[in-house]
């Protein structure tokens, strides 16, 4: 039991050093990426009852603008993780509705499939969950949820990450594509 509990102590300190420049570039990328999705949603998609803003994109922004060297922040993981998870979420909603079982299966299956496909992106779990427990607007989208907001939104966030993260001479994004 002592060994089991000792595993939870951590045992080492974080090795990362964050500079003010890192904070600036993370802020700039996030405000442009999320801002672009929100702007398009407000001015071009609102009349169609569509959006490019879902809660999981906030977590994606943390990764692709703030933790750009993480394997979980790379393009394959960002786009692939969201797409796989949105498909699973929509299927779980179709089969189980907005229920505890649909929610649990959506997240669990999304994690499993992301791991099997090499597209693990933690916000993908939220993307799957949103498809099940989201608003009637999300539910009415059906399979369109995979394209708008998920596919287009993730692609716009990636586009901004590619531009902003590489403006700095000390940052390089992505580390790899596949």
Q: Tell me, yes or no, whether 173 lies in a domain.
A: no
How far apart, in Å, are the Cα atoms of 162 and each of 49, 75, 126? 29, 9, 23
Q: Tell me, yes or no, whether 156 lies in a domain.
A: yes
Q: How confident is the model at residue 99 (pLDDT cuts 50, 70, 90)?
A: very high
Q: What token pair was written down for 151?
A: 């596919």
Q: Tell me, yes or no, whether 75 lies in a domain.
A: yes
Query: What is the per-residue pLDDT across 127-142, written as a single tens digit (0 to 9) for each?
Result: 999 999 999 999 999 9
Q: Tell me, yes or no, whether 170 lies in a domain.
A: no
Query: What is the per-residue pLDDT across 55-96, written as a single tens digit (0 to 9) for each?
Result: 999 999 999 999 999 999 999 999 999 999 999 999 999 999
Q: Tell me, yes or no, whether 174 lies in a domain.
A: no
Residue 109 sits in which domain range? 19-165
Structural domains in the chain (count)? 1
How far apart, in Å, are the Cα atoms of 76 and each of 5, 35, 85, 136, 139? 36, 22, 13, 30, 26
Q: Is the pTM of this model over 0.85?
A: yes
Q: Tell me, yes or no, whether 143 lies in a domain.
A: yes
């Amino acid at each position: 039991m002592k060994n089991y509990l000792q595993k939870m102590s951590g045992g080492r300190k974080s090795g990362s050093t964050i500079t003010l420049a890192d904070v600036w570039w993370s802020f700039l990328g996030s405000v442009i990426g999320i801002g672009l999705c929100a702007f398009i949603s407000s001015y071009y998609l609102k009349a169609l009852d569509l959006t490019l803003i879902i809660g999981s994109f906030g977590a994606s922004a943390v990764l692709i603008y703030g933790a750009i060297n993480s394997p979980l922040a790379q393009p394959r993981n960002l786009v692939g993780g969201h797409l796989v998870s949105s498909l699973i979420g929509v299927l779980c909603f179709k089969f189980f509705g907005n229920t505890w079982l649909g929610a649990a299966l959506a997240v669990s299956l999304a994690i499993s499939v992301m791991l099997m496909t090499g597209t693990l992106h933690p916000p993908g779990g939220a993307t799957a969950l949103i498809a099940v427990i989201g608003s009637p607007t999300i539910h009415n989208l059906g399979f369109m949820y995979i394209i708008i907001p998920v596919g287009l939104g993730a692609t716009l966030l990636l586009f901004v990450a590619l531009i902003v993260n590489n403006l700095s001479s000390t940052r390089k994004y992505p580390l790899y594509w596949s």
